[in-house]
């Protein structure tokens, strides 16, 4: 799946979702349930007028922390802040720009 997990991160993930049976199966349904909580509210299809709160920058910090650390983390944070200000000030809508590069329509673009 091209996730760059360290061995420790992989083991922590496997331990969190392992079943109680002797063969230590991975409880995929629980994993999916937790992943889906990030994107929407369970049962929203039964109440389509439900408001879903937008994801904030602080909520994604843990996921981004791994990629923002390092010798250039201060510089990266300054660049991201410049982008945030430019987007807010000029009301740039970035999604269509990135969608042009999302050839497979899966919500991801490559670094290239």
The strand pairing partners of 35, in sequence order, are none
Same domain, 35 and 70: no
Residue 88: per-residue pLDDT: 83
Same domain, 48 and 60: no
Same domain, 101 and 65: yes
Same domain, 66 and 107: yes
pLDDT in tens, 83-110: 888 888 888 787 887 888 888 887 777 7
How many structural domains does the chain have? 2
Same domain, 32 and 6: yes
What tokens does 75 get? 């510089």
Domain extent for 49: 1-53
Distance between CA atoms of residues 109 and 102, nearest Å: 5
Beta-carbon contacts of 33 under 8 Å, excluding residues fewer than 6 positions away, are: 42
Residue 1: per-residue pLDDT: 61
Percent of the chain with pLDDT over 90: 0
Same domain, 64 and 111: yes
* DSSP-assigned letter for residue 44: G
The residue-averaged pLDDT of 50-55 equals 78
């Amino acid at each position: 799946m091209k996730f760059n997990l360290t061995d420790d991160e992989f083991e922590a993930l496997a331990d969190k979702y392992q079943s109680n049976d002797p063969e230590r199966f991975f409880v995929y349904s629980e994993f999916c349930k937790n992943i889906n909580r990030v994107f929407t509210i369970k049962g929203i299809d039964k109440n389509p007028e439900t408001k879903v709160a937008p994801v904030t920058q602080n909520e994604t910090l843990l996921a981004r922390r791994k990629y923002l650390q390092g010798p250039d983390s201060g510089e990266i944070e300054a660049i991201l802040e410049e982008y945030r200000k430019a987007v807010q000030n000029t009301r740039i809508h970035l999604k269509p720009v990135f969608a042009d590069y999302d050839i497979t329509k899966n919500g991801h673009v490559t670094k290239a």
